[in-house]
Amino acid sequence: MNNKVADSTALGYACIFIASWITGLVDAGWFAPPVPYIGVVFLLFIGGILVPVSGVFSFINKDKIQGTLFVFLGGVYFSLAYYFMNANASNHMVPAYSGWVTLAFVIVFFYLWLAELKGDMFKQLFLLGLWLSILAFTIYYWTMVMTFNIIGGYLSLIIALLAAYISFKNLTAASEANT
């Protein structure tokens, strides 16, 4: 790791924890839609800007899988925040089209999970959960069966907790290395 730039793992996964928690709370049904405006602002800044910045640091640190994940997932968060800001506009989501779009995300997250299979177990679980949550949302968009949206929401909460653990684990390892 290059010690001259930010700890991309700790920063990126901490931001993913917050962004996934914000969206998961609504998708799991704990709070009624839409996502509150303050949540949208956090999603835009923390998920849509800081996660891709962490991805750039990951590329600098020569971690291609994590860099790809952070930049791509940051784009997803940015797009979600933009959609939530304009959810009351006249151009609403088209479910079938959204299903086909999220299928592309399913494919990317699946091959990122496969690429991580020889790596850290918690990152593997995180990517598996991310892949399954996006798959659940894709099935929801195609079928409009709310159960799949709720499943995706709970999986989002689980991956948020995994992201928090990965961030914490990385911070404590770095702290021990500095002592």
- Give per-residue pLDDT as tens, 48-106: 999 999 999 999 988 999 999 999 999 999 988 888 887 655 556 677 888 898 999 99
Tell me which DSSP letter residue 166 carries.
H
First to last CA, the chain: 17
pLDDT at 33: 79
Q: What whole-number distance in Å separates Cα of residue 101 and Cα of residue 87? A: 18
**Type and span of the H or E element at 52:** helix 51-60
- What pTM does this model have? 0.89
Q: Is 54 helix (H, G, I), strand (E, B) or coil?
A: helix
Q: What whole-number distance in Å separates Cα of residue 37 and Cα of residue 179? A: 42
pLDDT at 38: 84
CB 65 within 8 A of CB 112: yes
- Give per-residue pLDDT as tens, 20-40: 999 999 999 998 877 788 888
pLDDT at 93: 64
More confident position, 84 or 141: 141
CB 58 within 8 A of CB 66: yes
